[in-house]
Structure 1
Amino acid sequence: MPQRNIKKCDKIDTMKIFIYIFIAVFLAPLPAEAADPIKPIPLSIKYDRKKAELGKILFMDPGLSSDKSVACVSCHSFDHGGADPRPVSVGAHGKTGHVNAPTVYNSYFNFRQFWNGRAKDLKEQARGPLHNPVEMAMDKAEIERYLGESGFYVETFRNVYGVAPTYENALDAIAEFEKALITPDCKFDRFLRKEVQLTALEKRGYRLFKTLGCATCHNGINIGGNSFQKMGLIFPYPWKESFPDRYHITHSPVDKNVYKVPTLRNIELTAPYFHDGSVPTLELALRKMAYHNLGFDLNAEEVEALTAFLKTLTGEPPTIIRESR
């Protein structure tokens, strides 16, 4: 392995010593020959198709926002890997948020929802944007009134749920649609299933992904989404009170800049990167993560190889979207 340009701290304090020991013991990089830390996405999952189709309509309906200008899809674009290509989203009445909207694709596999994990599942997650004053700015009564005044929705909800539209059933339908948004059959999944081979550059990128320590946090079926980690573990990352990190949940100072690890699936499609949407390219994101969370600089060859590997994680668009386009 090439000699690493390790950054030196001007001052080593007790906390930094503890962090280094923690990394050495619990976050040690994996050897290149270690068992694969990534698991393929199943080619399909079971979901209620009628509920999901209704959820898709609701997901794309700007009528669920207070000024009828934005829908869920406005901030989770199907053309950008289920994410928002803007650093922060623009909601009802032109209001802006404080965080980059993460991809909705494969969110079913996340252990919690939102950057700070404040929602336990997709249905609970769906409540947030509908009520957030800088997103859709609606309330339960307004949503039920809007749906109940639509002959189409009344008929469709009765067909799917057996009753007229309700707020809870609307959330249930949206969650079922989001459950269906999986992106299987990426090149790397097919490699894991021994169906294809990676190029030499892609293989080198995967070896680096494991040996440098990336796979310590980005692992499992969603290559992330299964733990909380600190952004700026070695060299601090700028923090703002407005960032929705774990500190907003626990109010413990140690949770500042602690977020749910984002998935790396379809990462080439979901720029800009990081919770603040400040990084426009995948290459720059790799360099910044290596510096802030691993404590060293990547060279150009490493960035090239890692980028090649990450591009093998782009899967097929969700079937429920492809079939209607």
Structure 2
Amino acid sequence: MRAMSRMSRHSVLWGVLVPATLIGGERPQLTLAANAPQEKDSELLKDARDTFEPLPKDMATREFPVSPERVSLGRKLFFDPRISVDGTVSCSRCHLSALYATDALPKSHGARDKMLPRNANTLFNTALQFKQHWRGDFENVEAQAKHALTGPGFGNPDFAAAMARVNAITGYPELFKKAFPDEADPVNADNWGKAIGAFERTLVTPSRFDEYLGGKADALTPAERNGLRVFMDIGCANCHSGVGIGGSKFRKFGVKEDYWKATGSKEIDKGRFDLTKDAADTYTFKVPGLRNVEMTAPYFHDGSVDALPGAVRVMARVQLGKTLSDEDTGAIITFLKSLTGKPPADFITAPVLPPAGFK
């Protein structure tokens, strides 16, 4: 029987080994990776299963199924730039296969090279998250895809103009009929969102961590299992939990100090406040999912931090008020790398699109 819970054990280590405030006001530093006692693999696995969940085979729901016809259509629409106002932007412009469904830019660029307001999150596993976009602007990936048609990404003046572009391309009307056979006029913005959403709901990237949660203890190396323990005990899993290792709640960015002082952000983004006008939402953002985080730099809503070690240290500093040792930082990163999965085959290569000629 364990003498104390993982959180109470951490509290004892923190309170006894390091005073709450050091001389000069510096944040306390504790190397959990060095001080954590050895534990049975079964205990760590139990704690992990209490905190995280393995990925499903896809992200379909009853409301948003992933029929082959919808997925096939959505995949084509996802990669097709001809629906944007200047013919240069597709969903894939901000979500490149070679960059794990990101674009590696601090902030993405839309139609007519207009800079978008925030960093592009990866689309892998994102349909599992409770909201979409950094501020939670959209309820699901379908709503986000529909909005993109008239947002700064695609730049169309309205949905009618966007659908006129779709209808003008040989092949799309028939594909929409196959995907939505019960509708008399299936080429519409709602179905555009549903088709692209169906494709995105197939973009699941299981990793060795999922094997571990399934009971295969040696799916993670000893160093990765140690990093998992440090990740949980330091407090990262208080927000980064569940199936996405995040993506299930809103949190203020900068609980212990203003985030921009740690990130060096050039602009101060008030986050969800700009949507709700509720003072309690100031500097609040959706907690990002950490699956594939090794591959999705730069980090945070404004892409202000280039590398993962810096991002880990910023989070500990502004959210938990802790200065991580090099050893703990390294341990956490070692664990985070175990969350990297293989990109889906249908995302790695672009499909052949309907004929380029217009009617």
**TM-score for both structures, normalised by structure 1:** 0.86
Q: Which residue of 1 aligns with 2:258?
A: 236
Q: How many angstroms does 1:244 deviate by?
A: 6.6
Give the deviation of 1:41 after TM superposition.
0.3
- The aligned residue for residue 113 of structure 1 is 132
Matched to 2:189, the amino acid is Y
Equivalent position of 1:248 in the other structure: 274
Change (3 A) 1:7 1:126: farther
> How big is the shift at 1:147?
1.1
Q: What is residue 303 of structure 1 aligned with on the other side?
A: 329
How big is each residue's C-alpha offset from its partner over 1:165-194, in whole Å with a ceiling of 9 and x where there is no partner? 22221121011111111112x011111112
Structure 1, unaligned runs of 5 or more: 12-30
CA distance in 1, matches of 2:307, 2:82: 34
Between 242-251 and 73-82, the greater mean CA deviation after superposition: 242-251
2:52 corresponds in structure 1 to 38
Among candidates 197, 212, 221, match of residue 243 of structure 2: 221
> Partners of 1:104 and 1:190 in 2: how far apart?
22
Question: Counterpart of 1:264?
Answer: 290
Amino acid of the residue matched to residue 189 of structure 1?
A: D
Identify the match of residue 229 of structure 2 among 202, 207, 210: 207
8 Å Cα contact 1:187-1:196 kept in structure 2: no
| Superposed CA offset, 1:184-237 (max 9, x none) | 2x0111111123512221111101111000000000011111000111111111
The question of whether the paired residues in 2 share the 8 Å contact of 1:48 and 1:176 is answered with yes
Cα 1:155–1:308 shift into 2, 3 Å: same
Q: Is the contact made by 1:98 and 1:243 (CA closer than 8 Å) also made in structure 2?
A: no
Q: Which residue of 1 aligns with 2:340?
A: 314
Q: Mark the CA change 1:272 to 1:241 in structure 2 (over 3 Å): closer, same or farther.
A: closer
Distance 1:45-1:112 versus aligned 2 partners, 3 A rule: closer
Task: State the secondary structure of the residue aligned to 2:103.
Answer: coil
User: In 2, Cα distance between the equivalents of 1:89 and 1:127?
Assistant: 18
Which residue of structure 1 aligns with residue 208 of structure 2? 187
Change (3 A) 1:35 1:170: closer
Q: Distance in 2 between matches of 1:324 and 1:84?
A: 16
Is the Cα–Cα contact under 8 Å of residues 115 and 244 in structure 1 kept in the other structure?
Answer: no
Distance 1:207 1:230, change over 3 A: same
Aligned amino acid, residue 87 of structure 1: P
Larger Rg: 2
Pair 1:51-2:64 in alignment: no
Q: How well do the aligned residues superpose, as a CA RMSD in angstroms?
A: 2.5
What is the match of residue 305 of structure 2? 279
Contact 2:130 2:249 in 1 (8 A): yes
Q: 1:84 to 1:178 in 2, by over 3 A?
A: same
Question: For residues 285 and 277 of structure 2, what CA distance do their matches in structure 1 show?
Answer: 14
Pick aligned residue for 2:154 from 136, 143, 155: 136
Please state how far the C-alpha of 1:321 moved relative to its aligned partner.
Answer: 2.5
Cα offset, 1:161, TM superposition: 2.0
Q: Read off the aligned partner of 1:136 and give its amino acid letter.
A: F
TM-score by length of 2: 0.78
Alignment partner of 1:82 out of 94, 98, 101: 101
Cα offsets for 1:84-137 (capped at 9, x unmatched): 21000011111102210111111111111111112111211112322113x211
Deviations 1:24-67 (A, max 9, x none): xxxxxxx9673531111023455212101100111111112111
Contact residue 209 and residue 339 of structure 2 kept, 8 A: yes
Could you tell me the percent identity over the aligned residues? 36
Query: Structure 2: where are the runs of 5+ without partners?
Result: 1-12, 26-42, 61-65, 352-359
Aligned AA (2:57): L
Q: 1:236 to 1:242 in 2, by over 3 A?
A: closer
What SS does the corresponding residue of 2:285 show, helix, strand or coil?
Answer: strand
1: distance between equivalents of 2:85 and 2:21?
Answer: 49
- Shift in alpha-carbon separation, 1:86–1:194, aligned structure 2, 3 A: same
Question: SS state of the match for residue 259, structure 1?
Answer: strand
Contact kept, 8 Å, 1:148 with 1:164, in 2: the verdict is: no
